[in-house]
Amino acid sequence: MQATKKVIGDVFDTHGDIDLVYAPAGILGSQAAFDEDPAFAAKAFDINTTGLVSACLVVAKHMKAQGHGAIVLMSSVAGVRARKDNFVYGATKAGLDAFGQGLGDALVDHGVRVMVVRPGFVHSKMTQGMDAAPFSTTPEKVAEAITEGLTKGSEVVWVPRLLALVFTAFRHLPRRVWRKVSDR
């Protein structure tokens, strides 16, 4: 943690006010790999959640002191309702998503915004070789949505937007129904 504080502090000290911190980090992994190697599951939490939480708290302190800035956190629709075929990944993103929302609430009166981005399946190196999910998107579309969200002052951005409606419904399905729906 001391190294994180020093590196981020040095960036703020060297470059002055920082207007935007974009914090994309993540490994997907498979549930089978996590089941086989619980240390790998813990590593996924370290990468997808823990590291971002500690770094963003340091960034938040600096942005709060300067009185402005925006932090963009890459969550996932998987964090809204974890599927049984990769619940470890979903849990890492759920933790990050909740953290981002809470951090945004804590900073709103200090001129600092936090935007949580919830993409669905993105065609990228991370998903290469996987079957695409419905409503798949591209990194370029995610970038456009982030830019639009920052311009509008959005707190949560869904990519594509239709997923906001889909997951509103999914969130309210009984668990036994969700188990069947999330099998694909």
* Predicted confidence (pLDDT) per residue in 129-141, tens digit: 667 666 777 889 9
Residue 121: pLDDT over 80 = no
Going from N- to C-terminal start, the domains of the chain cover 18-181
> Which amino acid type is present at position 60?
A
Q: Which helix (H) or strand (E) holds 24?
A: none
The residue annotated as part of the active site, out of 55, 70, 72, 89, is 89
CATH topology of domain 18-181: Rossmann fold (3.40.50)
What pLDDT shows up at residue 42?
97
Helix (H, G, I), strand (E, B) or coil at 98: helix
Whether the per-residue pLDDT at 83 is higher than 90: the answer is no
Whether 89 sits among the annotated catalytic residues: the reply is: yes
Within 8 A by CB and 6+ apart from 63, the residues are 18, 21, 69, 71, 107, 110, 111, 112
Q: What percent of the chain clears pLDDT 90, i.e. is strictly above it?
A: 64
Q: Which helix (H) or strand (E) holds 62?
A: helix 51-66
Tokens representing residue 179 in the block = 């188990």
> Span 15-24, mean pLDDT?
94
